[in-house]
């Protein structure tokens, strides 16, 4: 099985470097260009299934990258970005000054503590894990998953020994396309390319 992971294109929130997960923002012009570049890399692949998060930026990315392909987009909220609650829409300094106690707890226990009105990393990781475990039960050749940076890093952590601590060992840029192969019960990362 070939599992393609495509991180959504750039948004204004990315360029402003603010925390956002549940905020439902659209792609900017640079993001649309990244999606078109991804589409060129995907044009000769026939997908059995295409999954997106429920967020506009992921759906737009899939629609642009798959332009001309007749394929249904299956929206699955398990691959929505992590919900950062009251921390969303603010940068590091704003959160540290506006929520000093909560920010301290979050930085000291990034896996277990949930930001106000948000979710903890472990809650987030477990929903992503549940999604991937359902995917590998499918007997398909090519699956495309259009999602978010936190989701992709969590998938990496899962396939490399189910170790959430590995989350911080990876970067992922807007427009990155990863190919993961699942063969004989094993995962491996075949390639990661940046589309721009």
DSSP 46-115: --SEEEE-SSHHHHHHHHHHTTT----EEE-GGGSPP--GGGTT--HHHHHHHSHHHHHHHHH-TTTPPP
Question: CA 82 to CA 127: how far, in whole Å?
Answer: 10
Catalytic residue among 12, 63, 81, 123: 81
Structure tokens at 4: 């393609």
**DSSP state, residue 85:** G
Catalytic residue status for 194: no
181 sits in which H/E element: strand 176-183
Max Cα–Cα distance, the chain, nearest Å:
51
CB contact at 8 A, 146 and 39: no
Catalytic residue status for 36: no
Task: Please say whether the dihedral angle defined by the alpha carbons of residues 123, 127, 128 and 130, taken in this order, is positive or negative.
Answer: positive
Pairing between β-strand 186-194 and β-strand 176-183 as defined by DSSP bridges: antiparallel
Residues designated catalytic: 8, 81
């Amino acid at each position: 099985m070939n599992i393609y992971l495509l991180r959504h294109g750039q948004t204004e929130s990315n360029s402003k470097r603010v925390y956002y997960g549940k905020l439902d923002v659209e792609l900017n012009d640079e993001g649309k260009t990244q999606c078109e570049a991804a589409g060129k890399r995907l044009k000769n692949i026939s997908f059995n299934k295409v999954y997106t998060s429920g967020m506009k930026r992921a759906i737009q990315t899939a629609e642009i990258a798959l332009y001309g392909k007749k394929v249904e987009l299956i929206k699955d909220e398990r691959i929505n970005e992590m919900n950062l609650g009251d921390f969303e829409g603010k940068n590091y300094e704003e959160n540290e000054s506006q929520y000093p106690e909560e920010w301290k707890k979050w930085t000291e226990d990034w896996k277990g503590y949930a930001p106000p009105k948000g979710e903890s990393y472990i809650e987030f990781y477990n929903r992503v894990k549940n999604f991937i475990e359902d995917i590998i039960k499918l007997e398909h050749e090519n699956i495309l998953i259009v999602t978010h940076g936190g989701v992709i890093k969590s998938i990496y952590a899962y396939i490399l020994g189910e170790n959430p601590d590995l989350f911080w060992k990876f970067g992922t840029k807007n427009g990155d396309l990863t190919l993961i192969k699942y063969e004989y019960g094993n995962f491996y990362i075949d390639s990661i390319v940046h589309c721009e």
